[in-house]
Structure 1
Amino acid sequence: MRKPSTKKLYYIAAVIIILSAAAGMLWQHAARPQPVVQDAPQVRVAVIEPDSTSKFYSYAGEVRGRYESQLAFQVNGKIIKRNVDLGSPVNPGDVLMVIDPKDLTQAASSSSAQVYSTQSQLRLAASNLERYRQLYEQGAISRAQYDQYVTAYDSAAAAVQQASAQYAQTANQVDYSQLYADAAGVVSAISVEAGQVVSAGQTVVTVVRDGEREVEINVPENRLNELRQATQIKITFWALPDVSVDGSIREIAPMADKISRTYKVRISLLEPPPAMKLGMTASVAVAKSTPDSVSFYIPLTAVFQNGQTPSVWLVADNTVHLQPIKTGSFMDDKIEVSEGLQPGDIIVTAGVHKLREGQKVTVTGEKR
């Protein structure tokens, strides 16, 4: 067998060495850390500007009458007639409901008979007293015997007075079988129907008196002081979108509701619109002057929830950095920021959940 020449062997060895060196260089290049080319996504931003010198808080409310009479019968009984419906206008003296008066009438008749009986006893006692007074003056009877007839007369007179008072009471109860309107107004609630048996003092109908109208709202206890310091109160109505009126605080409940733990507040309307109706839904915007503090309202879409801490992405030199903030009240699609931002800060307002600390971005849609 013919052996390869020495020259050919040298050539093969040289090729192997060159290939090995090239492979080593390629491996070192692959193992060397390569610079990461980061995309610079486009982000929409907004420039932070302080709001006006007032904070606004909105509360949902309902149009109510300033004077609402919750009417009830003064006697027990079964309702036999209901003369009004919800929304019925009433005038003073109108009969709203009637209780069955049979038992009351019988009690009044019994009391009347008792009056006649005691009056007869009084006439007899007066006749006896006059007769025995003459006998006493003639010396025919003793002073002790005469005093007995004086006492009998006094007792009969007291019995007449008692029976008369009882009759007056039962006669009043007959009149109490009819429930009267005490003022002009409109029926806003009816809680019983004909055929029901009601107790004395149980509310059966509510009448809202004609005149001033108010808006009732429920305010949490942590907003009461701000409400008392309100510089402006504006009321709008869901059914009247083009109507806005000023209001003033008339009354704040002294105790919180046991269930909701909020305080009922009555807002008087300075110029109530003619189209406003009882029961309408209202929105009460309360403005409180805050000259010593600066707050901002930012879009809700700008807030990034970092664990339990709300934050925003600040943009500086086309780089984003996470900034914790302290939030406050909501207003439409915005939220109040009381700490963490300064006027002139640029924040990302969209796509906040796709960013990371130190990432380069391209700014678009800047708002001022």
Structure 2
Amino acid sequence: MVTTTAVFWRKMRDLGYVAVGGAACFCGILYYKNDPKFHRIVTVPLLHAMDPERSHRLSILALKYKLLPKRQDTPHPSLRTKILGMDCSSPIGLAAGYDKDGEAVEGLFRLGFGFVEIGSVTPKPQPGNPGPRVFRLSEDEAVINRYGFNSRGHAEVYENLSSLPPPGQRNAPVGINLGKNKYSTDHVADYKEGVRLLAPLADYLVINVSSPNTPGLRGLQAGGALAELLDGVQLELAEHVKRHPQQRRPPLLVKIAPDLSENELRNICSVLINKKVDGIIVGNTTVTRPSTLRSSHKHEVGGLSGKPLEERATNVIRTVATITKGELPIIGCGGICDGAGVYAKLRSGASAVQLYTALVYGGPTLVAEIEDQLLHLMTRDGFSSVSDVIGADLKEKEQRHVLQ
């Protein structure tokens, strides 16, 4: 004989199954629809419950196997732009450091980036620095990392990218960010090897001399060392053109730090123009620590990225744009977390921008949200295209100077 109590608990159990099943279905629908609120309330907190490096790896795998829903809309036509001869659906790209080994490029296309940069890639595999080596500064919407160019090496990156359509035929341009091995005795040879092997797979190439986590790397930004490095890289790129006459020569950019003085920036820009580099990425993580930081991790050694870097990076972009007077296209990177940040960097002279840390806090729908915000700002101020926005602040300053 079934007791009243047994019947009650059986009903409660069945009700629990229904509630759990209903909640799972509801979450599944929101996930499939790529609902921004769902990702901020559920996806991001779940990832933040894990160790930062582990959650990073999990996100790469989710993108690699296309477990995240594809963005359903397309960027507004006003956001289409061209930089260094490359057509981009929007000026918002992914910075190097997220997909170091080129595993998840197609998944990243699905998020809606206008272009994607992988790396930094080193010639030989290396593990990078010991952990823990990445820290979330949640109160500051920032991250400190000291990865130290952890890379699976050129050969594996070549294999990963070989599965993609060739340059110029992809959903978006793919840049390859090149680094050197930590204990290399010939850094020029390291970068040349990267050009030799990976240039055939690159829509553009980046020489990274600005990470703070590889000993001696930032010293390569100095005039003489930088000139020597670029001489070697340009020679190797010329050989690439001879070997692949039917392929478009990938533009060459140099990525610099945001911690340089104006005089250092002038010297670097002079070398880049003299050595016929095609563009510059401003900048990388910073070794400075703003007094506004609140997180208990603020004193960790490594490069700081995220919102606290925004103003510094924008100021360096403005300085470089003023120095180069349009001779050197700029990709702006550092602290972007919303459309206003993109807009400020474009107005300061950047031709396109990159983000990374903002994804840690904004989730996979962030690119579409930022594009909507950027389009609103452009429309408000009467700009019908990205090209009209580029350097607008500098042009207005020059016009005021002329009128005076």
**Structure 1 or 2: larger helix share?**
2
TM range (shorter): under 0.3
Return the TM-score normalized by structure 1. Answer: 0.18
Work out which of the two has the higher radius of gyration on C-alpha atoms and give 1 or 2: 1
Higher relative contact order (CA 8 A, sep 6+): 1
**Structure 1 or 2: larger strand share?**
1
